[in-house]
């Protein structure tokens, strides 16, 4: 009887585990298919002003809150035509700022 209870408890414990990292406090988007979201520098098109003093290939970090109040960190790279290319986005899903 004790073995049955122990096995049932172990099964219930393992049933709560997932392999998709849903317990993490952030998720990361990377690659060429990232689309700007409200709050992104390039949302609605490239900014009117160009970064003329920063060298091509420079990394530009950007941090803001999304519509759900989650902290979003984005990384842009300055292209040869001085436009910004969004290369990664991390959305923190936790209830607190991760300072």
At residue 48 the predicted structure's pLDDT band, cuts being 50, 70 and 90, is confident
Q: For the chain, what percent of residues have pLDDT higher than 70?
A: 69
Give the chain's mean pLDDT.
79
- Whole-angstrom distance, CA of residue 84 vs CA of residue 34: 13
Residue with tokens 């414990």: 13
Do the beta carbons of residue 42 and residue 86 sit within 8 Å? Answer: yes
Compute how many other C-beta atoms are within 10 angstroms of the C-beta atom of residue 70: 15
Query: 60-99, pLDDT tens digit by residue?
Result: 999 999 998 899 999 999 999 999 999 999 999 865 555 4
Q: What is the DSSP secondary structure assignment for residue 73, as one 8-state letter?
A: E
- Whole-angstrom distance, CA of residue 36 vs CA of residue 26: 18
- Whole-angstrom distance, CA of residue 44 vs CA of residue 23: 33
């Amino acid at each position: 009887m004790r073995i049955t209870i122990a096995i049932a408890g172990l099964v219930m414990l393992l049933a709560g585990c997932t392999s998709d990292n849903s317990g993490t406090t952030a998720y990361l988007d990377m690659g060429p298919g990232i689309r700007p979201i409200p709050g992104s520098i390039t949302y609605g098109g490239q900014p009117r002003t160009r970064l003329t003093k920063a060298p091509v290939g420079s990394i530009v970090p950007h941090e803001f809150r999304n519509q759900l109040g989650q902290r979003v960190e984005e990384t842009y790279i300055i292209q040869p035509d001085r436009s910004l290319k969004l290369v990664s986005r991390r959305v923190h899903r936790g209830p607190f700022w991760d300072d």
